[in-house]
């Protein structure tokens, strides 16, 4: 089980996202179950997502990938 005191003292840039009430409830229950913050759960989910989508043949820093399903900014 993760321990809150093991987190880095200084984190990088902040990101603000909105989630559905149902997703927030699930995130909150997961956080309570593991005795961590919702932010910790979200950071871990981002880390896992990025790990799954990294490719040694693509340098993610060079060219952003646009996904048709991603919402477009106005």
Residue 68 maps to a domain: no
CA distances from 13 to 16, 39, 49, 73 (A): 10, 13, 18, 20
For 23-60, how does the pLDDT look when each residue is reduced to its tens digit (9 = 90+)? Answer: 999 999 999 999 999 999 999 999 999 999 886 445 55
User: Structure tokens of 35?
Assistant: 């005795």
Number of domains in the chain: 1
- CATH classification of the domain holding 37: 1.10.1220
Task: Yes or no: say if 2 and 40 are a contact pair by the CB < 8 Å rule.
Answer: yes
For 46-55, how does the pLDDT look when each residue is reduced to its tens digit (9 = 90+)? Answer: 999 999 988 6
Mean pLDDT of 4-10: 63
The yes-or-no verdict on residue 63 having pLDDT over 50 is yes
Residue 70 maps to a domain: no
**Is-above-0.85 flag for pTM?**
no
Mean pLDDT of 4-12: 68
């Amino acid at each position: 089980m993760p321990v809150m005191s093991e987190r880095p003292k200084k984190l990088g840039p902040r990101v603000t996202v909105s989630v559905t009430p149902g997703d927030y409830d699930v995130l909150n229950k997961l956080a309570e179950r593991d005795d961590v913050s919702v932010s910790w759960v979200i950071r871990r989910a981002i880390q896992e997502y990025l790990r799954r989508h990294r490719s040694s043949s693509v340098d993610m820093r060079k060219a952003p990938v646009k996904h048709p399903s991603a919402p477009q900014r106005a």
